[in-house]
Amino acid sequence: MTNLVDTAEVQQLLDKVAGGGQSGGDPRVKAVVRRVAQDMMRIIEDFDVQPDEFWSAVAYITRLGQANEAGLLVPGLGIETFLDLRLDAAERQAGIEGGTPRTIEGPLYIAGAPLSKGEARLDDGSEQGEVLVMHGQVRDMDGRPVAGAVVDVWHANTKGGYSFFDPSQPKYNLRRRIEADAEGRYRFRSILPAGYACPPEGATQALLNQLGRHGNRPAHIHFFVSANGYRHLTTQINIEGDAYLHDDFAFATRDDLIPPVTRVEDAGRIHAQGLNAPFAEIAFDFVLHAETQAAPTTIVQRPHAQAA
């Protein structure tokens, strides 16, 4: 097969595609688009992609966007994890190591959850699930409490659905922001989430099927932890014991993010919670790094759905 991509004709075509010689536009965008177009041509050439295969891929991208699943496919292809690995590497180069590991945000965050001081209850009591009490301290790398740090927490319900995206749940269900107290302590009561899977008939799962992969995530709880003067932390904890704990389709599990889940059976403590059955407890501290200009920002601007 001839190599067409490297011919003068195709290289000149790519120059025109990317606005080469045009004074307007953004040079960085031009360079990236030229590379994307060239790499696509190279894939077509290297794999001898036939026109019907190519147009089926175009139709796939269209379907992915129409279903609002692009943000689901990205972690499934390991790209969101790759962005985390890049940030980890940049931080190591700047001498930033240790602290609570980051992991992917995923596509289901909603800004503006109710804010409370010190503690919160995330569920509204309408769902029968195992009660979870999670608490801990936000500290810096020297072990000092980060007073007033905001723990922004969101998780799925017992069926693996998230409020806003799952219309059966009330607004901001299982989503809260908790301002840590003077000792950096936070605490919340909720219900243990279940794992979940990509929509089985959706575009993401359709591609995973072609790869022979499942689309399951182990049960987890998402966090943003932020405080003035500290690097913003995006992370999750996993619920131990989940069958998919180390087989997450989104590649978000990290070793230091699997805290033990304790079953509290002490009658006094059960009673103190206003409960009449044992409950689950997770103790987990968040350790933040001081902000620095030596590494790229950890505050990621990406579009988020807004609760009405």
Backbone angles phi, psi at 77, to 5 degrees: -95, 5
The minimum distance between CB 159 and Fe ion, in angstroms, equals: 13
Nearer Cβ to Fe ion, position 139 or 177? 177
Q: Which is nearer to Fe ion, 180 or 221 (CB)?
A: 221
Instruction: Name which of 217 and 289 has its Cβ closer to Fe ion.
Output: 217
Select the residue whose beta carbon is closest to Fe ion and give its number. 106
Q: Which is nearer to Fe ion, 38 or 235 (CB)?
A: 235
- Pull the structure tokens for residue 264: 């509290």
Q: What is the nearest approach in angstroms of Fe ion to the Cβ of residue 130?
A: 18
In the bound state with Fe ion, the residue whose beta carbon lies nearer, of 87 and 221, is: 221
Q: In whole angstroms, how close is the CB of 185 to Fe ion at the nearest point?
A: 25
Nearer residue to Fe ion within complex by CB, 74 or 96: 74
8 Å CB contact between 184 and 138? yes
We find the least distance from the C-beta atom of residue 222 to Fe ion, in angstroms, to be 6
Report, in Å, the least distance between residue 162 CB and Fe ion: 7
Q: Which residues bind Fe ion (CB under 5 A)?
A: 106
CB of 9 to Fe ion, least distance (A): 48
User: Within 10 Å of residue 171's Cβ, how many Cβ atoms?
Assistant: 12
Dist. CA 155–CA 176, nearest whole Å: 10
